[in-house]
Amino acid sequence: MKKTFLTILLALFATILVACGNDSALKESESTSGESNNGSEKEVITIGYQKGNTLNILKEHGNLDEALSEAGYQVEWKVFPTGTVLLEALNTNNLDFGHASDGNAVFMQAGGHPLHYVASESPYPEGVALVVKADSDIKSVEDFKGKTIGVTKGGNQHYLLLVALEQAGISQDEVDIKFYKDAAEGLAAFTKGEFDVYGTWDPYLAIVENTVETRTIVNGSDLTENRTFYFATEELLSEKTDVVSIILEELQNADQWANENKEEISKILAKELGLDVEPIQQANERRSFGVQKIDDTITLSQQQLADTFYKAGLLESEISVQEAVQIDDAIIPDNIQ
């Protein structure tokens, strides 16, 4: 049975209000403390994460805290509402390691901020889609001409839209693109009929599918990889390569555990996000968790995203993703391909 719109919308607003608290709450750490065997304080490694993502799983699993403690370090976890805010904290050395989306990364680099890619999460193309209401007369991307399409500016669904339009031979001027600021606002606008086409991402895509009778016109398959990337400070990469290797190894271990325990993971993430378990489970069933080494193919895909946003007038300047991908292969642990 479909969840009521009001119930889902209230849950989304609750999630966003929690995420958008004041700066002091934002920066408040959720840390574990400890001392080395000789009684001296351990050096702190600060990791930034967003609720509902893979570093959130790593935090809850607890294996990284244990592994770094054995190596003489203490983990401090900091939660952030968006990848952009997280990358800003990383850029100002308020974090050592964190994650952000593909779009967050290219916007940060185009703004003149140095980035240091470390690794990638597995692609998640089915986790982003352009949907319409079930009774819509829109049957394909070719029918988007003259229609109003809602996306978040620079988001993964915005990129999917641009690629889908280009493939269909439709210019941006032939559609009316409307930007919404967050999942709650987008769902409300789509439900009220303000958008003919709605671009969204998991787990909110799954929520929409369980709230409104919809049809998916196109998802990311064969159009966008929809990746999360991992980043570190230059200092961590140059002076504490052992820490980077441990983080990646334990992140991969947690990811593989997540693949084998998706029902349990869904419960954990639902609690973190303040959402029902069912859509989280639905979202997790269409993805695979796993850390990947950034190779030429992944770099090229990220470059294509950056070039597309630049051509659309969204980036301040052209960038070279390769310049930010200078990871030493020796840092990558053996359990990552």
User: Where residue 32 falls among pLDDT bands split at 50, 70, 90?
Assistant: very low
Dihedral in degrees, nearest 10, Cα atoms 141, 143, 148, 152? 0
pLDDT for 30 beyond 50: no
Q: What is the DSSP letter of 129?
A: E
Nearest to 217 by CA among 139, 143, 286: 139
Give the whole-angstrom CA distance, residue 337 versus residue 330.
12
Give the whole-angstrom CA distance, residue 306 versus residue 167.
17
Q: Is 99 left (phi over 0), alpha (psi -120 to 50) or beta?
A: beta
Query: 113-152 burial string, b = 16+ CB within 10 Å, else e?
Result: eebbbbbbbbbbbbbbbbbbbeeeebeebebbeebbbbbb
Query: 55-71 burial string, b = 16+ CB within 10 Å, else e?
Result: bbbbbbbeebbebbbee
In tens, the pLDDT along 115-154 reads: 999 999 999 999 999 999 999 999 999 999 999 999 999 9
- Going by their DSSP bridges, the two strands 128-133 and 214-219 should be labelled as antiparallel
**Mean pLDDT across the stretch 293-299?**
97
Give the whole-angstrom CA distance, residue 196 versus residue 136.
8
In tens, the pLDDT along 187-213 reads: 999 999 999 999 999 999 999 999 899
Tokens 């993805």 belong to which residue?
287
DSSP assignment of 145-160 equals: TT-EEEE-TTSHHHHH
How many helices (H) and strands (E) are present in the chain, helices listed first? 14, 12
In tens, the pLDDT along 255-284 reads: 999 999 999 999 999 999 999 999 999 999
Q: How far is CA 261 from CA 257, 283, 285, in A?
A: 6, 14, 11
CA distance from start to end of the chain: 42
User: Where residue 41 falls among pLDDT bands split at 50, 70, 90?
Assistant: confident
The pTM of this model reads 0.88
Task: Order across the sheet with 291-292: list the strands.
Answer: 29-31, 73-79, 43-49, 97-101, 228-232, 117-121, 291-292
Give the whole-angstrom CA distance, residue 97 versus residue 189.
36
Domains and CATH numbers, the chain: 21-123+227-331 (3.40.190.10), 125-219 (3.40.190.10)
At 82, list the tokens: 């968006």
